[in-house]
Amino acid sequence: MNRNPKKFSVVGAGALGTILGGLIKHHRPDLDVVLVTRGEHCRQIRQTGQVVLHGPWGQCSPEVTATTDVKEIADSDLVLFTVKSQHTAETARQIAPVLGDATLVSLQNGVNQRELRPSVRADRLLVGMTATNMAITSPGEVTLQRNGLSMIGSPDNVCPSAIVQAARDLLAISGLPFETSDQILGIQYNKLLLNTMGYASVLSDSDFITDGILFGPWRRHVALPLLNEGLTVLEAAGIHLGRTSGMSDVLRFGRLLRALNTPGVDGPARWVVKQLVRPKKLVYSVYQDLVRGKPTEIDYINGEIVRLAGECGVSAPYNGLVVQMIHDLEKRPSDQFPTHEQVIARFRELSD
């Protein structure tokens, strides 16, 4: 990749792609930034010529180009690929003719290199994971809710290290933390296991932290069974987890869950977090899709564990239940979620 990039494009610019593209343009006004997006989000950006970004920096409104035409990414030095997982293969085929020598970085939910490989040169394909959390608060406006670490790497370890580093350096212009790793598959599954629990909290429209991990019955009957099942499946598949920092590491997170089960710890921890820390609710993409009446990515998160389990001849009933319940919710009105108690009861039935 050119060490002095001229053009950066995002394909599938939702909350993540918009905030990264916007922040890079904010810090590098000379860089041509193109956001391939759609709907009201696209129309608003095209009308104003800018995106509005909220975060620790306050507010900024960088000028970017928004389009629905993937051909406008031509001549890009780096293409950030952030489409919904279920659209990976189709979108990758659409952009293949205009990719040229561009480096493509997939920062998607799930593990999607199988769908990307047929359309993207192996020596220009990077994948990764991000622990950031952001949301489109209104068309053309995105708020950063959690500034977590993002990591990228070559899924087949054939992309030259200079290209990997150049991609990392360009993405880091955003001011958000980026690192590289030669164990990116294990890191992707690390994040995926965290999401299997986070997506389960969406079943009752609950807050993952205060109503989930800090609520004993949900933690014991939903979170820990999902985590233990995921670890068993990965072990059967021969996939070794890559480690990340802080609570973004699922093994470290698992130790926290078990520590909270210590008698006398749960209540005080819940009070401290709710009264003193007051964390913002994490808004997961699967929740946003449900309230908008759109298909979700659940088959690429909890469904990925179910798929791997089937390949290895083991079972994954807890993750299978999440997939089933999310698909049921996709068919219901957007404001009809089961109660917290109903979700816990469904999971308890599996262990009884």
Residue 4: pLDDT band (50, 70, 90) is confident
| Residues in Cβ contact with 307 at an 8 Å cutoff, skipping those fewer than 6 apart | none
pLDDT exceeds cutoff 90 at 199: yes
Residue ranges and CATH numbers for the domains of the chain are 7-182 (3.40.50.720), 186-351 (1.10.1040.10)
Helix ranges (DSSP H) in the chain: 15-27, 39-48, 88-99, 113-116, 161-172, 184-201, 216-218, 224-237, 250-260, 266-272, 285-291, 302-312, 317-330, 340-351
Question: Which of 188-216 are b and which e, b meaning 16 or more Cβ less than 10 Å from the residue's Cβ?
Answer: bbbbbbbbbbbbbbbbbbbbbbbbbbbbe
Closest alpha carbon to 321 in 297, 295, 349, 294? 349
Q: What is the mean pLDDT of the chain?
A: 92
- Work out the average pLDDT over 150-156: 95
- The model's pLDDT over 116-131, given as tens digits with 9 standing for 90+, comes to 999 999 999 999 999 8
pLDDT of residue 248: 73
pLDDT exceeds cutoff 80 at 277: no
Q: CB–CB of 150/267 below 8 Å? A: no
pLDDT of residue 240: 92
Q: Retrieve residue 51's tokens.
A: 């995106």
- The strand pairing partners of 7, in sequence order, are 32
- The model's pLDDT over 20-75, given as tens digits with 9 standing for 90+, comes to 999 999 999 999 999 999 999 999 999 999 999 999 999 999 999 999 999 999 99
pLDDT of residue 176: 96
Please calculate the CA angle 265-268-269 and round it to the nearest 5 degrees: 75
Residue 271: pLDDT band (50, 70, 90) is low
